[in-house]
Amino acid sequence: MNQPELVVQLQQGDESAFRKLVDEWQHMVYNTAVSIVQNEDDADDITQEVFVQVYQSVSSFKGDSKFSTWLYRIAVSKALDHEKKKKRKKRFGFVQSLFGSSGEEQQHPVEFNHPGVQLEKKEKAGELFNALNQIPEKQRIAFTLHKLEGRSYQEVAEIMNTTLYAVESLMGRAKLNLKKELSKYYNNNIS
């Protein structure tokens, strides 16, 4: 079944179409989420949220972009919202700890292991993911969609609602900043 047919069936409230949608796109949504939030449980939560939102708002999908592009946009924005919420919670926990009460403080693991990275490269990839957290959001999203989700620059441009030139520029700066962050890290940690 092609994407427009699937969308029509979803808009008609076809339950089997929704099952097909989840079967087909769950790994893409999960991989995008886990690459951004760097936490498997949070990514699982976000994946559920994305499909709930798709179910609730598919009637508003006008077909201006590809359905997959729309899905990516929802996944990215949900993941970023989740991150912001988590940061707010962390700040609130810090303020609470200043006043002596035990605020619920949830910390990311120090080093994230992406499940799709080869075993022998996990350590190096963990260091790269740490550096990824230090670079600006747009550069991080462009890098994640291109390198970890395997989207072309053109597709990244469509998802991020920007131009091809802007994505090329974002990727260039992302690589440069990542190298800077990694150099800083190795300079401090290698004797």
Stretch 49-78 residues interacting with another protein (CB under 8 A): 49, 51-52, 55
Q: Which helix (H) or strand (E) holds 146?
A: none
Closer to another protein at the Cβ: 67 or 146? Answer: 146
Residue 149 found at the interface with another protein (CB under 8 A): yes
**Least distance between another protein and beta carbon 183 (Å):** 6
3-state secondary structure of 143: helix
How far apart CA 160 and CA 150 sit, in angstroms, is 15
Q: With contacts defined by CB under 8 A, how many residues of the chain interact with another protein?
A: 43
Q: Closest by alpha carbon to 73, among 175, 162, 174, 177?
A: 162
Residue 153 found at the interface with another protein (CB under 8 A): no
Residue 133 found at the interface with another protein (CB under 8 A): no
How far apart CA 25 and CA 17 sit, in angstroms, is 12
Is the Cβ–Cβ distance between 22 and 68 less than 8 Å?
A: no
**Residue indicated by tokens 């427009």:** 4
**Least distance between another protein and beta carbon 137 (Å):** 19
Residue 35 found at the interface with another protein (CB under 8 A): yes
Stretch 95-114 residues interacting with another protein (CB under 8 A): 114
Q: Which of 125, 145, 167, 171 binds another protein (CB under 8 A)?
A: 125
How far apart CA 114 and CA 117 sit, in angstroms, is 6
Q: Which of 44, 105, 111, 137 binds another protein (CB under 8 A)?
A: 44
